[in-house]
Amino acid sequence: SSGINAEWPLRPGEHKSNGPKIPLYMVYERALKELPCSYKIWYKYLCLRRKGTKGRCIDDPEMNRVIHCYERALVFLHKMPRIWMDYCQFIVDLNYVTKARHTLDRALRSLPITQHCRMWPIYLNFIKKHNIKEQALRLYRRYLQLAPEDAEILIDYLMSVEHLDEAAVLLTKCLNDEDFNSKKGKSKHQMWVQLCALLSENPTKITTIKVEPIIRQGLQRFTDMTGKLWISLADYYIRKHQFDKARDIYEEAVKTVMTVRDFGQVFDVYAEFEEQLITLKIENRTKNGKTPDNELDLQLRLRRFEKLMQRRPLLLNSVLLRQNPHNVNEWLKRVGLFEGKPREIVNTYTEAIKTIDPKLATGKLSKLWIEFSRFYEDNKQLNEARVIFEKAVLVPFVKVDELADTWSNYVEMELRHEYYDEALLHLRKVTTAPPHKPSYFDRTEPVQNRVYRALKLWSVYADLEESLGTFASTKNVYYRILDLRIASPQIILNFSELLEEKNYFEESFKIYERGIGMFKWPLVYDLWTTYLTKFVTRYGGDKLERARDLFEQSLDQCPEKFAKSIFLLYAKLEEDFGLKRHAMAVYNRATQAVLKEEQAEMFQIYITRATACFGVTHTRQIYEQALETLPDTDARVFGQRFAELETKLGEIDRARSIYIHTSQFADPRQCSEFWRLWQTFEVAHGNEDTFREMLRIKRSVRDKYSTQSSFNLPPDADTTTAAAADPMAQLQKDVQFVRGNEQTQASTVQNPDEIALDDDDEDDEDEDDEQEEEEAGEEEGEDGIVKQCVPDEVFGKLAEQVNQDEDELQ
């Protein structure tokens, strides 16, 4: 046997692999007799024997022979996991349950612990294939000793076989183990949800662990699903028929949840629970009849359900206050929910005041104090209301305005009950400056030291002194406001109005000037307009130079938005008390100083006043300036008016020049009215050459605007249709100035069958031209000169004076 090795039986085996099996088995047997510990020979031999059993019945004698071969091989190769795996799988496939279990146990005992992970998958598949409950439980427990991270396999199996108590215990251990990681990818949150569902849905089957502490622990750990956990805990007691305990859980839930979503979930389930109990009681009464106890119980449940629905707004408000206990608006809403219950209202106000931190308050804390005092005032308890206000003014509010609101409402309460002296006493107290006089915006100082600069309190103080005090005391209050530099434009106007009523005009004007020095545009606009109006009304033309100086000061750095009214006041002053040319200069300045949108209106006012003062001839320069300054739309309108003016004055050439100049602003497609007026003008005052010139200009203007807008047209636009629809071309075709009955022949050769459509059109055009020329000739005199009257507007006020002189001579 010295020449035998492990390779030589393989070669004959390969040579005879396609031949009969028995001679091949003999070759392997001889080889194994010589080399009984050869893994390769045994593995090839066992694979060959196992292959030979395919397609045979499980009780065939060959099956036992293969098993016998595996047993012989394991005598020498009991540490080879591959041999054990094939052997165990072979027996499992034969459905030899006991034999397979014993063989798998032998394999686990023979192999080292590091190789067990290769055998357990076969064992677990064997367990699933043969569902023997007690045996499977013992095997799963053995498997968890090797692989505790696979506890979910046992949990799923326990739940499938209704061993819920053990499944809950094992799931709890997994949750308590911080190092446990689910192989199914479940998070701790999902495992908690699974455990809570398991505990709440099976209260009678789970007795080993305490359900309520576990769910309450989940309430602390998973705040995002508080509502569901509370519902699960209540459902646990409902399934145990402990309805009173379930109701207590629901009550605790609606009083402790922190979000509106969780409250909505719990409250809806709570209401449904009560409704189902009532329905059940009604059904029992129907079946068993009415008894006093059942009726009393039913009425009690109905009252409880009704009260629950009435409590919903209050419970929801409690949830919002638990989210933010410093929310003033929610506290006020809570007070409104207790309408008609004075004791609860007072308790709510008291609790709110104790709870809210002024530095963390959301909303105006002063409103809470004011409403609290108003509650006592409405109930005719004025002393208690004063006590509330006295405490309120000592609260360290964040903003000075809140303390000022509190003081002003305190004063108004005293005024409503006609305690005027107390009101004035409160205002004098609060407006007294502390010794060091801190700044209004100094947040390091408490609001009680800064409230003396609150304008709201000073306004109330001034109004009250004006109503109840003397003129001297009122002036003193207003001057103190000015000294503190907290006055508003309205304060200045009120003080000046007061002085004017007492005939202190110069002092009133000084207050205006002092106020103007305190503010900038646009706040100073109302002061300037009121000051200038009052000054002009008071002095008129007596102090003209001073008035002019004031107007110039007001116009210095005046924004365009506010310049118009001041310029009009200035021009009115010059017209009434100054020089007309000065007024015209003011109007001229105004046309350049106002907003672009107001320039056209300003030019129109300028033209109107110039016509009234100097006659229409003085407006030519104004019109020319307007045409240069205004945008195209307004320039076109002023150009039409200018041309009409020149036409009335008989300046036909000037009017035509204006039309020609203005035509560059008039698109024929949009401004048809302008071209109609020009055409009427040429028909009345022009000739054929001027009319053709107008048509040429119209065509050129149309082409200019068409070129500018052609970039917005599509490239395949139908130009033929546009040309056919052009009224300009049609007008040029229709209008004819050639008189006479002769017609120009376009061709010497005529077609006798041709339909003469153009001849009729030409005849119509000639008739229209003759009619237009006849109408124009009617306006001419015998000498061919148009005679028109000169309008009175040309001479302005001179015409009125001449008429008056003629009347006096007569």
pLDDT tens by residue, 87-127: 888 888 888 888 888 888 888 888 888 888 888 888 888 88
Q: Could you tell me if 566 and 602 are in contact, meaning their C-beta atoms sit under 8 angstroms apart?
A: no
pLDDT at 781 over 80: no
pLDDT at 731 over 60: no
pLDDT at 431 over 50: yes
What's the chain's average pLDDT? 80
Beta bridge partners of 362: 327
| Core vs surface per residue 116-126: b (16+ CB within 10 A) or e | beebbebbbeb
Interhelix angle 489-501/471-484, rounded to 10 degrees, is: 150
CA separation, residue 657 to residues 242, 551, 637, 685 (Å): 106, 40, 15, 13
Q: Could you tell me if 229 and 252 are in contact, meaning their C-beta atoms sit under 8 angstroms apart?
A: no
Instruction: Say which residue, 764 or 495, is predicted with more confidence.
Output: 495
- Find the length of the chain: 810
pLDDT at 590 over 50: yes
Residue 772 banded pLDDT, cuts 50, 70, 90: very low
Instruction: Say which residue, 742 or 134, is predicted with more confidence.
Output: 134
Residue 128 banded pLDDT, cuts 50, 70, 90: confident
Average pLDDT over residues 190-214: 82
Both tokens assigned to 90: 């072979």
The residues, ordered by sequence, that sit 6+ positions from 326 with a Cβ below 8 Å of its Cβ are 355, 356, 357, 360, 361, 362
The residues, ordered by sequence, that sit 6+ positions from 278 with a Cβ below 8 Å of its Cβ are 298, 301, 302, 305
pLDDT at 373 over 90: yes
Q: Could you tell me if 529 and 507 are in contact, meaning their C-beta atoms sit under 8 angstroms apart?
A: no
pLDDT at 193 over 70: yes
Percent of the chain topping pLDDT 90: 21
pLDDT tens for each residue of 434-485? 888 888 888 888 888 888 888 999 999 999 988 888 899 999 999 999 988 8
Q: pTM for this one?
A: 0.66
**CA neighbor of 664 nearest in space, from 689, 707, 633:** 633
Residue 791 banded pLDDT, cuts 50, 70, 90: low
CA–CA gap between residue 42 and residue 493 (Å, rounded): 118
Q: Which of 412-426, 627-641, 757-771 has the lowest mean pLDDT?
A: 757-771
In order, the DSSP letters of 618-656 are GGHHHHHHHHHHS-HHHHHHHHHHHHHHHHHTT-HHHHH
In order, the DSSP letters of 343-404 are HHHHHHHHHHHHH--TTT-BS-HHHHHHHHHHHHHHTT-HHHHHHHHHHHTTS--SSHHHHH
